[in-house]
Amino acid sequence: MKKLKTWYWVVTIIFALMMLMDGFGGVTQQQAGKEVLKHLGYPMYLLIIVGIAKLLGALTILQQKFTAIKEWAFAGFAINFIGAFASRAFVGDGVALLIPPLVALVIMFIPYVLWKRMQENVKNS
Residue ranges making up the domain that contains 9 = 2-120
Are the CB atoms for 62 and 54 separated by under 8 Å?
no
pLDDT tens track of the chain, all 125 residues?
799 999 999 999 999 999 999 999 999 999 999 999 999 999 999 999 999 999 999 999 999 999 999 999 999 999 999 999 999 999 999 999 999 999 999 999 999 999 999 999 888 87
Domain count, the chain: 1
Residue 125: inside a domain: no
Rounded to whole angstroms, the Cα distance separating 92 from 122 reads 46
CA nearest to 93, candidates 29, 32, 36: 36
Residue 22: inside a domain: yes
